Amino acid sequence: MASAAAPMQEDKPLTGGRLLLAGFVLALTNFMVVLDTTIANVSVPHISGGLGVSATQGTWVVTSYSVAEAICVPLTGWLVRRFGTVRVFMAAMIGFAAFSALCGLAPTLGLMVAFRIGQGFCGGPLMPLTQTLLLRIFPPERRAAAMGAWAMTTVTAPILGPILGGTISDNWSWPWIFYINLPIAVFCIVGVFTLLRSKETETMVVPIDRVGLILMVIWIAALQVMLDLGREHDWFGSSFIVGCAVVAAIGFVTFIIWEMTEGNPIVDLRVFRHRGFTVSVAALSFSFGTFFASVVIIPQWLQTSLGYTATDAGYVTAFNGVLAVIFSPIVAKLTNKYDPRALVCFGIFWLGVTSTLRTFWFSGADFWILAAPQFVQGLGMPFFFVPLTIIALGAVDPEETASAAGLMSFLRTLAAAIGTSIGATLWQNDAQASRAELAGILNGPDQVIARAAQSGLSAEQGRGMIERLVDQESFALATNHLFAVAAVIFFLSATIIWLAPRPPKAVDTSAAH
């Protein structure tokens, strides 16, 4: 399921300006794909308003992309072997551009989700493909520098995503967060066709695990539908949600059994026999799912409850990447000197500390009170991601590295979608419960209405003022409670990493994406 490709056909290697331009095109492609995972987060209220749906339904724009991307990642290895690296890259880029345009034109939520799924399917292979092509075209002595530039696009894109999304939504309109992909995609398509079409990999007819693929799509789709629609359908009081849960459970168990016995599985679950890989993936899934949920929910709270513009919400959210950029190269060096488990433990524990800081947020907090935890959180992110990859890939056999890296990417992306759905549901439910509790203990509403009347407001306006105040405080309490839960998850994830054995000194992480 990995991004490994067939041997490259013999051709004169790229040098000089052509090599640098090719590297830039591939890095820009990766930047665009990663950008699309966060650019819509701060625009959810705008998209929800434009499509006439609730903010909770608006999060489907985020989760549908993540789920589709996760499903497509395991197919990358087969697609490359069957059709060739460059052909798959070109097809994925063209599809990504087409679905980006359709997302901007979508008139309903249903079509928007469908087009985001298409965008995710096309975007899924692009990250591992850009990495594979970079490793192919650069000589061994320059690959580290090339992968460093690639990694920087992965780190900086989530910083610029919320800023661009907020600025575009406020100053133009939300469809332009998708339209901006078009000129970048055209440039990258032309660049790859011009520079790399002679670098096509050999193709071969290889079998595909069709049953495994169908089972994977069924159980993931059923689970995501259950999580996204459960709140609106009264959860297990609805026969439809119960049906989705049954399909997801049976599909998951059947999928596990099939993949464990299939000779050429779509997802190589055998790597879970390595304790280090299993522990690392568990810590990654819980931590990243929790982290990504906060990235989606914070901008919603700022805009729907505190009156922030999408631009200002984007700046608050983007602060979490500043220290991540600064410390990423430092952490890469520290992994050669210290036990990676200690670095991962520190990184995840730090995320728990910053989540604890957010439990003190309140509705009257100013910009810097909200931005400070975002800023300091960035310190823990490279300590979390970089050493965790080393532990996971260092635990598997060398010939399993590519499969293990692909499986990590699959589970990380799936965890982001599931975590967002669960987090949004918990947040909305907690806000509803807090609202009912506050309304029950509210003292003196008649006095507030009387004072409002003295200020020239009507009784109806006074009641409206009380209702807005209760709503604002209920969502502030729900946000505090959500981050208290997040802190507990982070602290537990930080401790379980010690169940993994210490990895060997030299670990090949080139297959990670």
pLDDT along the chain (513 residues), means of 10: 44 72 88 83 83 79 84 82 87 94 91 91 86 79 72 75 85 89 92 84 80 90 84 79 92 92 83 91 92 87 87 85 81 82 93 94 89 90 83 82 79 86 88 81 59 62 71 90 95 93 64 54
Pick from 308, 250, 260: nearest CA to 43? 308
Report the SS3 class of residue 200. Answer: coil
Burial annotation 450-462 (CB, 10 A radius, 16+ → b, else e): eebeeeeeeeeeb
Phi, psi angles (nearest 5°) of residue 482: -60, -40
Contact assessment for residue 29 and residue 183, using Cβ atoms and an 8 Å cutoff: no
Contact assessment for residue 79 and residue 102, using Cβ atoms and an 8 Å cutoff: no
Give the span between the Cα atoms of 456 and 229, in whole angstroms: 43
Residue-wise DSSP of 403-457: HHHHHHHHHHHHHHHHHHHHHHHHHHHHHHHHHHHHHHH---HHHHHHHHHHTT-
Whole-angstrom CA distances from 288 to 60, 114, 160, 417 are 18, 25, 19, 10
Whole-angstrom CA distances from 330 to 351, 357, 379, 386, 510 are 18, 25, 11, 11, 18
- Which residues on adjacent β-strands are paired with residue 8? 201
Give the span between the Cα atoms of 266 and 206, in whole angstroms: 12
What tokens appear for 201 in the block?
Answer: 């990999």
Burial annotation 99-117 (CB, 10 A radius, 16+ → b, else e): bbbbbbebeebeebbbbbb
Report the SS3 class of residue 275. Answer: helix
What tokens appear for 488 in the block?
Answer: 């507990």
Per-residue model confidence (pLDDT) at position 3: 43
Per-residue model confidence (pLDDT) at position 154: 73
What tokens appear for 443 in the block?
Answer: 């003292």
Provide the residue type at 412 as one letter.
R
Q: How far does the chain reach from its first CA to its final CA, in angstroms?
A: 13
Output the pTM of the full model. Answer: 0.81
Give the span between the Cα atoms of 483 and 501, in whole angstroms: 30
CA atoms within 13 A on the CB side of 382: 23
Give the span between the Cα atoms of 357 and 353, in whole angstroms: 6
- For the beta carbon of residue 363, count every other beta carbon within 10 angstroms: 17
Contact assessment for residue 183 and residue 124, using Cβ atoms and an 8 Å cutoff: no
Provide the residue type at 350 as one letter.
W
The region, left, alpha or beta by phi > 0 then psi within -120 to 50, assigned to residue 201 is beta
What tokens appear for 439 in the block?
Answer: 């309304």
> What is the DSSP code (8-state) at residue 15?
-
